[in-house]
Amino acid sequence: MVKKKQALGWIEWLIGWMYVTCELLFQRTKTSHLQNPLELPSLNDLTCIVTGTTSGIGKEIARQLAEAGAHVVMAVRNRKTANELIDQWCSSWAGILLNVEVMELDLLSLDSVVGFANTWNARLEPLHVLINNAGIFSIGETQKFSKDGFEEHLQVNHLAPALLSVLLLPSLIKGSTSRIINVNSVMHYVGFVDTEDMNTVSGKRKYSSLLGYTNSKLAQVMFSSVLHKRAPVESGVNVMCVSPGIVHTNVARDLPRIVQAAYHLIPYFLFSPQEGARSALFAATDPQIPEYCESLKTDEWPFCAFISQGCHPTNPSKEAHSVETSFEVWEKTLEMIGLPSDAVERLIEGKEVRCRYGTGKD
């Protein structure tokens, strides 16, 4: 019997960090062909839900989509801050009203996720783009759990976006051709998912915020790859992950010393939030993306579309290539978020699906 892999080997770990370091050093060179901000087409007929839009990359994504004419739904915890941002954006456009609204969403509560999805689906309106942007990296902090009992990085970065994506499928099908875009991270290259201990409670691995973050981002890629396969071409729903690049934030304290040194010595190479938003905006608006995603389904590719910070297709980590592990992550994730194993198929067929969280709990 083959022994189940327990962690990255040291060579795999080293290769992963070499990749992260190279991305840090050369991301500006790789993206020198891109405009900043990215030029967007008219988006007057597009409805987009974007999570985590009160700061950073998410704020830039929401603002630029709205300024291009899209109907943008800011899915946030802090409604007051979001409404203040909308007022600022409208003022900068000489009082022209942007088509932006705010809806409350707390990713640390799966009840909140279910309530948000039910409220939106009840409108019976099409959804064209879902951008799961919100995420956390609680640098150096001790392990924390949500009220649902899940490690916070895992819930905010993976479980809650996964639940939101599945539950919004009825609206995304109405918006066909539609897109689910998960803002991922180059840091998933040093992640490893133990499907028997996704919540990191067994004691087999010493917890750190870096471990929680990188593993949650890898889990997101793996789940997205299976969702990409489970949504048939006829549904018109396309699933992808994007890398924003390495954006200027205060994350270096939990990184290896060599990466810390690079992070502090060469700030020129780090992206601003506006630059980091380009890959998600490209994935949301480029007309060739649906055809590319469909071609990956046809070719039985092992993972979903992964768009680099340079706005071109690239490959996720070697771990993300494992079809077997990806399906284990899929099954475990559905179990954790309280959905039946056939939830996607039932929703695509227009049938009701019950979740143990929120208004759908038994």
As assigned by CATH, the class of the 26-349 domain is alpha beta
Angstrom distances, CA of residue 179 to CA of 184, 305, 321: 15, 11, 22
Asked if residue 341 lies in contact with residue 333, where contact means CB atoms within 8 angstroms, the answer is: no
Distance CA 135, CA 161 (A): 9
Residue with tokens 């939030």: 273
Residue with tokens 């080293």: 14
Distance CA 169, CA 347 (A): 7
Which residues of the chain register pLDDT less than 70?
1-3, 94-95, 249-266, 359-362
- At residue 362, the pLDDT reads 37
- At residue 95, the pLDDT reads 65
Task: Look up the pTM and report it.
Answer: 0.94
Residue 180 tokens read as 């689910």
- At residue 250, the pLDDT reads 47
- At residue 298, the pLDDT reads 76
Catalytically active residues are 213
